[in-house]
Amino acid sequence: MKAGLPDKKKPASGASGVAAVDRALSILDAFADEDRKLTLAELAKRTGLYKSTVIRLAKSLEKSRYLLRSEDGTYRLGSKVLSLGALYQKHFGTADIVPPILREIVDELHEGASFYVRDEAQRLCLHRIEPQRAVRDSIHVGDRLPLTVGAAGHVILAFSGLTGERYDQIRKNMYAASFGERDAETAAVACPVFGADQKFLGALSVSGPRYRIEAMGVQSILPVLFRHARNLCRVLGGDPDAAPFAAWSKPAKVLRATQAAAAPKGLRPAPGVRAGR
């Protein structure tokens, strides 16, 4: 829950417009991933604003389609928020390119595939395709997750220049794997994606229940992940055959040999290990 803006302090006349915008944005920011709708009382509590202030600002947000008020008096996000999200995706130039490739990865590996970009001190799920499986990890487009845990976060940190043995190894092998870091029951394997002038764009990730990722094995996931990362790199203007990306072309037997070295101690999955055994 976010701290609300103080409602009782009247801003100076020169700052009144800015304060009103801040308060209106705090209403939109009050919605969390699990919230389909919120009552007036919930919005007031989460923002720290008086109910009368929420009502006044909500009317303006409704006019611009940022909010919708239901017949029962509750509020939900409007279509304008979705439009802004789509524009944000288009800003990266990936909206028409990445999702079809994620679909191919899902069709091959039968686990969820995501594309993450850095968003200040977090990673943002810009694109996501879910597998047709009842048991899967729960990731949605727009989710913001920590950079310090999870394979995609480690890839982003490594290719953002973070130093240290772990990140040096990720840059060398061009991937990261994580087992139970963000959630004890999930695992992921991720690799970098580059664009024009070999600029790092984001992380391509495969994730799912830990027991299934461990049973499949990182060595089985990497060839698929690397092949699609190369394709993405080429389409987005990069050169997947450049020397720094040599790991993408390693045969499976070499990948198996480097897997154990790349995984930190305590996170190395035993071959063929399944949950419950």
**For position 276, what pLDDT does the model report?**
32
Q: Where are the alpha helices (DSSP H) in 110-162?
A: 151-158
Q: pLDDT tier at 272 (50, 70, 90 boundaries)?
A: very low
pLDDT on residue 259: 47
Main-chain phi, psi angles of 103, to 5 degrees: -60, -40
**Per-domain residue ranges for the chain?**
13-79, 92-262
185-204: average pLDDT: 93
Residue 13 has pLDDT above 50, yes or no: no
- What number does CATH give the domain 92-262? 3.30.450.40
Q: How far is CA 101 from CA 178, 189, 196, in A?
A: 22, 16, 19
How is residue 89 written in tokens? 């995706």
What pairs with residue 115 in β-bridges?
127, 204
CB 40 within 8 A of CB 75: yes
Say whether 92-262 and 13-79 share the same fold. Answer: no
| Residue 268 neighbours by CB distance under 10 Å | 15
Out of 21-30, 89-98, 261-270, pick the least confident.
261-270
Kindly report whether the global pTM for this prediction surpasses the value 0.75: no
Question: What are the start-end ranges of the H helices in the chain?
Answer: 16-29, 40-47, 51-63, 79-91, 98-109, 151-158, 165-173, 210-216, 218-235, 252-262
- Max Cα–Cα distance, the chain, nearest Å: 69
Q: Which comes out higher in pLDDT, residue 187 or 256?
A: 187
Rounded average pLDDT over 18-29: 90
What does the pLDDT read at residue 240?
A: 82
- Residue 274: count of CB within 10 angstroms of its CB: 11
In our burial notation (b when 16+ CB lie closer than 10 A, e otherwise), range 60-89 reads ebeeeebbbbeeeeebebbeebeeeeeeeb
Please say whether the dihedral angle defined by the alpha carbons of residues 148, 153, 158 and 162, taken in this order, is positive or negative: negative
Whether the per-residue pLDDT at 213 is higher than 90: the answer is yes
The DSSP letter of residue 196 is: G
Query: What pLDDT sits at residue 15?
Result: 58
pLDDT at 96: 82
CATH topology of domain 13-79: Arc Repressor Mutant, subunit A (1.10.10)
C-alpha 277/C-alpha 210 separation (Å) is 13
Q: Which two tokens stand for residue 68?
A: 């919708």
Considering the chain, what is the average pLDDT of its residues? Answer: 83
CB 54 within 8 A of CB 44: yes
CB atoms within 10 A of CB 234: 13
Beta carbons of 80 and 64 less than 8 angstroms apart: yes
> Lowest-pLDDT range, 126-135, 184-193, 246-255, 261-270?
261-270
- Looking at per-residue pLDDT, the higher value among 251 and 42 belongs to 42
Model pLDDT for residues 53-67, shown as the tens digit of each residue:
999 999 999 999 899
Evaluate if residue 182 carries a pLDDT over 60: yes
Which of the four pLDDT bands, split at 50, 70 and 90, describes residue 19? confident
Phi, psi of 33 (to 5 degrees): -60, -35
Q: Are 274 and 214 in contact (CB under 8 A)?
A: yes
Q: Per-residue pLDDT averaged across 224-241, rounded?
A: 89
Label the pairing between strands 75-77 and 67-69: antiparallel
Tell me: the pLDDT tens digits for 136-178? Answer: 888 999 899 999 999 999 999 999 999 999 999 999 999 999 9
Query: Tokens for 162?
Result: 């973070």
Residue keyed to tokens 């919930």: 42
Percent of the chain at pLDDT > 70 equals 81
